[in-house]
Amino acid sequence: MMASLMLAGCASDRSGVSDTRPMLTGTVNYRVRIALSPSAVMTVRLLDVTQKEAPAIVLGEKSISNPGNSPISFSLAYPFGGISPSRNYVIDARIELEGRLRFYAMEPYVVTPQNAADPHAVWLQLTGD
């Protein structure tokens, strides 16, 4: 019985430990006056693009169903120690409607150690179809 009480105490101690990772916050915006349908899905990713010949490394990704209309707020967790001055990072965002790409970031938004804590305004462009 004593062992059970000790284990229960240890379990409750762990619940007080925070696993709060650093966050990027901001808005995804588009200039076209279009209301998104409820089937829209917005995806925001933090990518490490340091190695130009290799695929980007995804450090954080969040998809939001039925995100509403521009500006759309986002918060994106990334790993502890994530933004290093010796590496290159970008925020990539896109909006899909019924599985088809409708808006995309024409220019990736650069993230640095100096601007990581600032709110980011990522602008999307409507696809040509």
Q: Are 30 and 103 in contact (CB under 8 A)?
A: yes
Compute the distance between CA of residue 39 and CA of residue 98 in angstroms, rounded to an integer. 6
Compute the distance between CA of residue 72 and CA of residue 121 in angstroms, rounded to an integer. 10
pLDDT tens for the 129 residues of the chain, in order: 444 444 444 444 444 444 588 899 999 999 888 889 999 999 999 999 999 899 999 999 999 999 988 999 999 998 887 788 999 999 999 999 988 999 999 888 999 999 999 999 999 999 876
Alpha helix stretches (DSSP H) within the chain: 2-15
